């Protein structure tokens, strides 16, 4: 039986309903029987998938889109105060609910697993959703990316487990009360919201403080920020802390990651002392670590480790996480959401390992002026792992430009690190540029969190012609 819909969520209106986080919550509410409506700047496959569920999706933003009988207006941190629908809600006294509060209300009465960390959240949440589904447990889930088809980023399941991506960027993960929490890594990012690593640690400590008494924290043993956080929360005795990784002191220890092209075999020692080997169907050591975190979380919920390990092998990736877009003229085109230097390095190392001697070409689009200002040098250094790169202009997303902050910061750092880099401001010119560079056997990676993902099909088309 579906959990009850909170009264304020009976007829909600979502501003920016096409976004990854917003659309997932809207979908679950619609599947539970709510009358859902919303608006987005432009039409999309996600909007069309919501309409197929009976959701009303308006294009553009106007006060008239807000229905007379709306019981709440749901917003994310990306919605600006002058949005006409938000202003209309405030004028009419309609409750304004943050996305994280809406998601928290969906988890009530269930057994939540919340997946947090600076990188890897979407992949790890997806691994859990797919593997629990393969075991017939019918989980509910809300992920920051699509598993396969548009709109597959969320599902209302009949089971008792709810798997959710827990976003630290705006501190919204403080709203959840998980039975099991995963923390994959702790690094400085989201510079518009966090001024220092101390603020990041405090934020993650608050998240750990939200774990239900008797619950479990699964946390990385290898990553310095996660180890520091483990030290900081060592006084919490009403939860179990399970560490995982390759470190000798890890509770769930990774003994071996054996890469095999675009898959890996992973051998672990469980807390019980048993040794288990299973296959991860995506390339790269960091994805193997994500799978082990998912395994440890499932075991904390009481699932048999062998069954769960086998089910984890059913996960074949999520859109934009090293997703193969196609092959033309002997060249494979792969899409990566990586936009932080740590993610860029991890994905480039994974692709380099799978390339088996072939060249790796990257089309990189920096994401956010604030991130580029703080981490542009490290982004450039990461690009030195590619054989050649094309660097686009910064994708602003929700930000206004910062004087003096451009892609040149990244390009200069990449060249200083010995990288072969071509600047390109015109995205329409990229397919021709790549077609001139690529040779049969090469791998092309479109990389970034903005609209660089749209270039994959255009590059394949140009290569094919």
299 and 370 share one domain = no
pLDDT, tens only, 228-237: 999 999 988 9
Number of compact structural domains in the chain? 3
273 and 379 share one domain = no
Is 122 an active-site residue?
yes
Q: How confident is the model at residue 1 (pLDDT cuts 50, 70, 90)?
A: low
Residue 299 has pLDDT above 60, yes or no: yes
Asked if the structure places residue 445 within a domain, the reply is yes
Is 325 an active-site residue?
no
Asked if the structure places residue 105 within a domain, the reply is no
Q: Which residue among the candidates 27, 71, 155, 165 is catalytic per the annotation?
A: 165
List binding-site positions for ATP. Answer: 117-123
Tokens 């009949």 correspond to 158
Residue 148 has pLDDT above 70, yes or no: no
Residue 53 domain boundaries: 7-96
CATH code of the domain covering residue 54:
3.40.50.720
281 and 363 share one domain = no
32 and 82 share one domain = yes
297 and 443 share one domain = no
Indicate yes or no: pTM above 0.85. no
pLDDT, tens only, 373-426: 999 999 999 999 999 999 999 999 878 999 999 999 999 999 999 999 999 999
130 and 254 share one domain = yes
Asked if the structure places residue 205 within a domain, the reply is yes
Asked if the structure places residue 380 within a domain, the reply is yes
Determine the Cα angle at 103 with ends 99 and 104, to 5°. Answer: 115
306 and 347 share one domain = no
List binding-site positions. Answer: 117-123
47 and 116 share one domain = no
36 and 128 share one domain = no
The two counts, helices (H) then strands (E), for the chain are 14, 21
User: Which three-class secondary structure string do you get for 75-140?
Assistant: ECCCCCCCCHHHHHHHHHCCCEEEHHHHHHHHHCCCEEEEEECCCCHHHHHHHHHHHHHHCCCCCE
Share of the chain above pLDDT 90, in %: 77
Question: Long-range contact list for 394-397, CB < 8 A, 24+ apart?
Answer: 394/365, 394/366, 394/367, 394/368, 394/369, 395/365, 395/366, 395/367, 395/368, 395/448, 395/449, 395/450, 395/451, 395/452, 396/368, 396/369, 397/78, 397/367, 397/368, 397/449, 397/450
Average pLDDT over residues 266-289: 92
Asked if the structure places residue 86 within a domain, the reply is yes
CATH code of the domain covering residue 232:
3.40.1190.10
Q: How confident is the model at residue 323 (pLDDT cuts 50, 70, 90)?
A: confident
Asked if the structure places residue 1 within a domain, the reply is no
Order across the sheet with 263-269: list the strands: 154-155, 140-142, 161-165, 111-116, 180-183, 216-220, 240-245, 252-260, 263-269, 275-280
- Give pLDDT, residue 143: 92
CATH code of the domain covering residue 364:
3.90.190.20
- Give pLDDT, residue 425: 96
270 and 413 share one domain = no
Given 263, 294, 312, the domain boundary residue is 312
306 and 326 share one domain = no
Tokens 């000798």 correspond to 248
Asked if the structure places residue 104 within a domain, the reply is no
Q: Which residue among the candidates 27, 46, 71, 122 is catalytic per the annotation?
A: 122
- Give pLDDT, residue 320: 67
- Give pLDDT, residue 350: 81
Is 108 an active-site residue?
no
Q: Which residue among the candidates 121, 175, 319, 325 is catalytic per the annotation?
A: 121
């Amino acid at each position: 039986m579906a959990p009850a819909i909170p009264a304020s969520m009976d007829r909600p209106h979502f501003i920016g309903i096409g976004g990854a986080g917003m659309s997932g919550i809207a979908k679950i509410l619609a599947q539970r029987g709510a009358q859902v409506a919303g608006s987005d700047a432009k039409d999309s496959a996600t909007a069309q998938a919501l309409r197929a569920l009976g959701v009303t999706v308006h294009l553009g933003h106007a006060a008239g889109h807000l229905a007379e009988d709306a019981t709440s207006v749901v917003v994310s941190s990306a919605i600006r105060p002058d949005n006409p629908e938000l202003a209309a809600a405030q004028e009419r006294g309609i409750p304004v609910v943050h996305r994280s509060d809406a998601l928290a209300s969906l988890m009530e009465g269930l057994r939540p697993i919340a997946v947090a960390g600076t990188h890897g959240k979407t992949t790890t949440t997806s691994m859990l959703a797919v593997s629990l589904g393969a075991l017939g447990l019918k989980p509910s889930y809300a992920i920051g990316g699509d598993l396969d088809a548009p709109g597959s980023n969320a599902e209302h399941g009949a089971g008792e487990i709810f798997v959710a991506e827990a976003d630290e960027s705006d501190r919204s993960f403080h709203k959840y009360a998980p039975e099991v929490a995963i923390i994959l890594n702790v690094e400085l990012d989201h510079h518009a919201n966090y001024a220092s690593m101390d603020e990041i640690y405090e934020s993650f400590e608050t998240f750990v403080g939200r774990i239900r008494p008797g619950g479990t924290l699964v946390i990385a043993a290898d990553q310095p920020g996660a180890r520091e956080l483990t030290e900081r929360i060592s006084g919490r005795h009403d939860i179990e802390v399970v560490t995982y990784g390759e470190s000798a002191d890890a509770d769930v220890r990774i003994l071996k990651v054996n890469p095999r092209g675009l898959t890996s075999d992973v051998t672990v020692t469980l807390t019980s002392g048993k040794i288990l080997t299973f296959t991860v169907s995506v390339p790269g050591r960091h994805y193997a670590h994500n799978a082990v975190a998912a395994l440890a979380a499932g075991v904390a919920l009481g699932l048999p480790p062998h069954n769960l390990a086998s089910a984890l092998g059913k996960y074949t990736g999520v859109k934009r996480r090293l997703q193969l877009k196609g092959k033309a003229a002997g060249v494979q085109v792969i899409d990566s959401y990586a936009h932080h230097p740590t993610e860029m390095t991890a994905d480039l190392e994974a692709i380099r390992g799978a390339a088996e001697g072939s060249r790796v070409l990257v089309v990189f689009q920096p994401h956010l002026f604030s991130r580029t200002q703080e981490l542009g040098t490290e982004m450039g250094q990461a690009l030195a792992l590619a054989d050649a790169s094309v660097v686009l202009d910064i994708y602003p997303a929700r930000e206004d430009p910062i004087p003096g902050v451009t892609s040149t910061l990244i390009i200069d750092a990449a060249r200083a690190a010995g990288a072969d880099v071509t600047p390109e401001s015109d995205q329409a010119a990229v397919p021709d540029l790549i077609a001139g560079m690529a040779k049969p056997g090469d791998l092309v990676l479109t990389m970034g969190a903005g609209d660089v993902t749209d270039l994959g099909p255009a590059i394949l088309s140009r290569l094919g012609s």
